[in-house]
Amino acid sequence: MRVLFLGDIVGRDARDEIIARLPELRGKYKLDAVIANGENAAHGFGITAQICSDLYKAGVDCITTGNHIWDQREIISYIAGDQKLLRPINFPESTPGRGAYIIGTAHGHKILVVNVMGRLFMDALDDPFAAIDKICNTHRMGAQVNAIVVDVHAEANSEKMALAQYCDGRASFVVGTHTHIPTADAQILPKGTGYQTDAGMCGSYDSVIGMEKAGAVYRFTRKIPGERLRPAEGPVTLCGTMVDIDPSTGLCRRIEAFRLGGRLSQALPAET
């Protein structure tokens, strides 16, 4: 099974680039599933029902999020009816929505997608390790599902790495989001779980983590609120990670960084 995970989508230009390129990418790389983090897709803050629909039509199978999930108020009433739009699983149980979804592939395989949020330098949520434990114990690879992909939306690299080590051998692929910077540590852990600390973002890298430079610099230099930050314009780089997974064991066979377009050096996985 081949899965493409796309990092945080920042603004309209990034959405348009994904919508334009994804149908070709699915065919070129024979992708079984595409997962994308969409929490910054609506002008940099949250996501809307229409954006979800547009991404699904383009070929995204599941959308993960994070701390910006509620920035667009319409999502509070919408999310309960959209099983493919996730919020972190370690929100309190009474929170609308869900933190996991099973993708059914064209070949009859089941890929469990789990969205979890870290607690270091983030909102105080329930224990992410306990949440991962619970779902991995009830959805075992090679039994209830063929693969498990975990999006760890977190600030601290140490917390992302600790969660990945905690999942080693129990998940197919653990990938970090939130910092918008792609890391160079794509690897397969000793027990067979693929890992990358951060997939990066889909957006303009002539920016401050995807947002227009002047406004972001103003906030740092003046230490007073300025105008609402806006997504930066300019050539978009699609950043993510591609993994090949053994459907019988759920373990990762291959992992490669994915970077296409824009300012960053390109990293395009082999097609076979």
Return the active site residues: 68
Question: Tokens 């090679």, residue?
Answer: 142
Neighbour tally for 190: CB within 10 Å: 9
CA 46 to chain centre: 14
24, 51 Cβ separation under 8 angstroms? no
Q: Is 91 exposed, middle or buried (0-12, 13-18, 19+ CB in 10 A)?
A: buried
Q: What is the DSSP string of 132-152?
A: HHHHHHHS-BTTTBSEEEEEE
Q: Which residues contact 74 (CB under 8 A, 6 or more apart)?
A: 48, 49
Q: Which tokens go with 80?
A: 């309960």
Contact present, 173 and 3 (Cβ < 8 Å): yes
